[in-house]
């Protein structure tokens, strides 16, 4: 399976034939990045002023919650803030339409989470090694356990200067897991309850969450691994969109500015092939259920 599969998608509400839907879901769940070179997100004239780092506050991105329609992280106020919020609401709606049309099997189970706008250049940004997204990693969130759910994301590059979003894509997930899993101690009894009781996690951290978080940290901390592991450099051009299971595909964002991102969660049981889920892969390697 190709690391990046390019598909002829040009509209957010495009109707797809069953053959293309099957090709897309099989590639996505097998660990490919689905890329749509001709699917952009157009800004109207009143929104083009938001193509500036000055629209952000102290955080690294601006976030919008479709369920509450609240926006955070922006430096804007008044009418400008309302226009920014409308822009992000539109991206959230477009992304959901794309997912429901391309993956009808996910329709009843797909959970839409936060929408993000990232106007800062990622190259050269100073951060801790755990938060350094220029290092290869699979997604796992310390404060937000996913338990039996997958992390599925839509990205769109809206760079007005035509600059790409440059990624590195690493080895397949099972190879990552085999490499790091043997170094990880089992979760300590009582820790997950304590973390949840003091508010450090939003729900109980499952054994799967424990191992995924340690794999995430192990990958980022190992500079020799970062330098020597088999990997592919890939540029996502301005005006393109891509979809990827970020808990499955080892990835690093190396350069780029002005990107939209929509996060979805999907219960692993709703997949076309549940055996591809990282929950299943880790359970098989550990020879025990982890969720």
What average pLDDT values come out for the chain (291 residues) when binned by 10 residues?
A: 92 97 98 98 96 92 96 95 97 98 98 98 93 97 96 98 98 97 94 95 96 98 97 98 98 98 98 98 97 92
User: Which domain CATH number covers 234?
Assistant: 2.60.120
Quote the pTM value.
Answer: 0.96
243 in any annotated domain: yes
- DSSP strand pairing (111-118 vs 70-72): unpaired
How many residues belong to the chain?
Answer: 291
pLDDT the model gives residue 58: 84
Q: Please give the residue range of the domain that contains residue 139.
A: 4-286
Domain membership of residue 291 (yes or no) is no
Residue 265 gets which letter from DSSP?
Answer: E
Residue 281 located in a structural domain: yes
For residue 1, what pLDDT is reported? 62
Question: What is the number of domains present in the chain?
Answer: 1
**Dihedral sign of CA atoms 117, 120, 123, 126 in order:** negative
Tell me how far CA of residue 214 lies from CA of 140, 178, 219, 267, in angstroms.
Answer: 9, 13, 8, 21
Question: What token pair was written down for 254?
Answer: 């190396």
Residue 197 forms part of a structural domain: yes
Give me the phi and psi of 119, to 5 degrees please: -90, 0
Specify if 50 maps to a domain.
yes
CB 72 within 8 A of CB 62: yes
Residue 258 covered by a domain: yes
């Amino acid at each position: 399976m190709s690391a990046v599969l390019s598909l002829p998608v040009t509209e957010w509400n495009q109707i797809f034939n069953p053959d293309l839907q099957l090709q897309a879901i099989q590639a996505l769940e097998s660990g490919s990045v689905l890329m749509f070179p001709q699917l952009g997100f157009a800004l109207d004239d009143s929104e083009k002023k938001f193509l500036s780092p000055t629209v952000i506050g102290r955080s690294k991105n601006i976030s919008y919650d479709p369920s509450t329609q609240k926006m955070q992280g922006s430096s804007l106020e008044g009418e400008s803030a309302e226009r920014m919020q409308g822009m992000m609401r539109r991206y959230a709606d477009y992304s959901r339409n794309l997912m429901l049309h391309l993956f009808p099997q996910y329709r009843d189970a797909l959970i839409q989470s936060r929408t993000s706008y990232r106007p800062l250049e990622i190259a050269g940004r100073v951060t801790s090694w755990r938060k350094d997204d220029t290092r290869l990693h699979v997604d796992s969130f310390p404060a937000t356990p996913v338990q039996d759910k997958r992390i599925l994301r839509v990205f769109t590059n809206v760079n007005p200067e035509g600059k790409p979003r440059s990624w590195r894509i690493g080895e397949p997930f099972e190879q990552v897991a085999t490499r790091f899993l043997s170094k990880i101690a089992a979760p300590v009894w009582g820790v997950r309850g304590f973390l949840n009781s003091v508010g450090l996690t939003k729900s109980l951290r499952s054994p799967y969450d424990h191992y995924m978080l340690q794999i995430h940290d192990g990958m980022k901390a190992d500079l020799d691994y970062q330098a020597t592991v088999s990997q592919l450099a890939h540029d996502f051009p301005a005006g393109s969109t891509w979809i990827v299971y970020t808990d499955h595909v080892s990835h690093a964002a190396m350069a780029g500015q002005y990107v939209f991102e929509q996060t979805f969660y999907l219960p692993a049981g709703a997949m076309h092939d549940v055996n591809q889920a990282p929950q299943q892969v880790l359970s098989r390697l550990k020879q025990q259920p982890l969720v």
